[in-house]
A and B are shown apart, each in its own frame.
Chain A
Amino acid sequence: MSLLVVTSPHAHGPMSTSGVMRTVLLATVPGIAALSYYFGAGVIINILFGGLVAILCEALALSLRRQALKPFLTDYSALVTSTLLCIALPPYAPWWLLVVGVSFSILVAKHLYGGLGYNPFNPAMVGYVVLLISFPLQMSTWTTPLGIAENVPGFMEALRACFNPSSFDAQTMATPLDILRQNNGMLLSDLYASNPQFGAFQGVGWAGVNLAFLLGGLFLLYKRVFTWHAPVAMLLTLSLCALMFYDEGSSASGGSPLFHLFSGATMFGAFFILTDPVSSAVSNRGRLVFGALIGLLLYTIRVRGNYPDALAFAVLIANFAAPFIDNYTQPKVYGHREGPKA
């Protein structure tokens, strides 16, 4: 007979950290499959090699911090970080790019701030921004997607691209987001007609990739890994901004809402990056604000900025704002009146 007195609530979360992390990894599979279908096997090499680097860095950081290796190495958190970063990187990235990005994510963005659960910024996005600022050329070369190119590089070619970059020669192409940003006085309909990248529906390859990540995200939502608030707020805000500045497809148009929803990293960001429980706002109301802020920033930096995509910057700025958002969206305790805001 147990004499231990336990107070309510008696419900307990069925998911452990490693369970959540495994589910997230599982949910990235459709997206990775779509990426490798359209862009070739580069993303798989990225993820495998990045994962290896991540585990080595995690072990190094843990041993330097004199912490137990096993519980932290087997919770998959380092693997999730590196997988998310490697999905965001262009495929066929040279090995040193992966090493710099992943080790910066794990060592600086995660462990220097106190390790799992203490990082104020999303580690994968910190790694991405470091690479984007440092190596703009390598970070903005995307190979031609299947549908425009005859075929895409296979596994061996991807290996060679990673470890012997100078021997790898692939056809690259501006992404739909690049084309739209550099649009110089053409109507959107003309722009779509004159660039094969746009294809039948909002960008060859990119629409499929975004749909696949949407599928994975809905799976996570069904599994209750996160709540709907942040992704929905972000997608709604992004669509609203796009609608406001669509301008009926004129030469000054910022692109249609559908285009923005299915371009670049929109779905991947909405379901896999925004939903990081550590660096986002904590209450449901706070997550609505957090998501909306990212949607607004994403649209602004995408259309007005000078980078391939804007997700990483938007997320990092919103991470900065998360404690502030939390302060103003703190739910009141049941039965109490709302206290004065600090």
Chain B
Amino acid sequence: MSTPDYGELSINGLWKNNPAIVQLLGLCPLLAVTGSVVNALGLGIATCFVLVTSNTAVSLIRNVTSDAVRLPTFVMIIAAAVTCIELLMQAYSYELYEILGIFLPLITTNCVILGRADGFARKNPVLPAMYDGFIMGVGFTLILLLLGALRELSGTGAVFANMDLLFGPSATQWEIVLFDDYQPFLLAILPPGAFIFTGLIIALKNVIDDSMHRRAAARAAPVETGSKRVRVTGTVS
């Protein structure tokens, strides 16, 4: 396999092959913990860390694992990385660790991670594998953040509440209240809200893709003067 192009990797991870809205992998945490920005960011960072670590480790041992045992091996590596991040979060942001609860250990079963390990890191050298894990994690985190911000804003009328759970006491001031006297819109916070907003984000991405395709198609294929039309007599003037 030829050396992958870092620019292409970035576009893939962030847009064209985004794990959350194109591959639709890891929907469980995507739907479960995006009720607020701080939860989304916490889980996004944890997932990103696990992706980078597991991709690097898998790439390092790619030449010594046989195909028959590769999946159990990968899962062991991922589980080890998840345990690390779980202990780290327990140490440094205990409250957030409590809030995320079962969804932290569940990162192990997040299909994005096993998918990247088996689909990319297994076949590529360490540096590209590490970069791929990082950019996929960033793509995933960005969607989590967007979803968290949308749901928190429409659900409570404010964003960035409780950011001190992740960034220390100085972050208590970060909360932006957009509407005073806002009636909490419970649907956005409840699980159905996650489904609805994820659907809307995917639809928005498809609309943008569509219009870009149409514009690219319009720009390409200029008709040369003098060329013949298909099944039509005469020439283009």
Contact = CB atoms under 8 A, between A and B. Distances in A.
Interface string A108-135: 1000000000000000000000100111
A96 interface: yes
A133 B185 CA distance: 9
A135 B190 contact: no
A100 B196 contact: no
Contacts of A96: 183
A108 B196 contact: yes
Interface string A83-115: 000000000000010001000000010000000
B186 interface: yes
Nearest to A136: B186
B151 to A, nearest CB: 13
Nearest to A100: B185
Contacts of A135: 183, 185-186
A133 B196 contact: no
Contacts of B196: 108
B187 interface: yes
B183 A133 contact: no
A91 B145 CA distance: 38
B193 to A, nearest CB: 9
B183 A130 contact: no
A293 B7 CA distance: 57
Contacts of B186: 133-136
B66 to A, nearest CB: 46
Nearest to B188: A134
A126 to B, nearest CB: 11
Quick one: which of A96, A100, A134 has the most chain B CB within 10 A? A134
Nearest to B187: A134
Contacts of A108: 196
A191 B188 CA distance: 39
A141 to B, nearest CB: 13
Contacts of B192: 133
Interface in A66-82: none
Contacts of A134: 184-188
A190 B185 CA distance: 39
Nearest to A96: B183
Closest 5 CB pairs of A and B: A134-B187, A134-B186, A134-B185, A133-B187, A130-B187
10 contacts: A96-B183, A130-B187, A133-B190, A133-B192, A134-B184, A134-B186, A134-B187, A135-B183, A135-B186, A138-B183
Interface of A: 96, 100, 108, 130, 133-136, 138
Given A133-B192, A134-B185, 9 more contacts: A96-B183, A133-B186, A133-B190, A134-B184, A134-B187, A134-B188, A135-B185, A135-B186, A138-B183
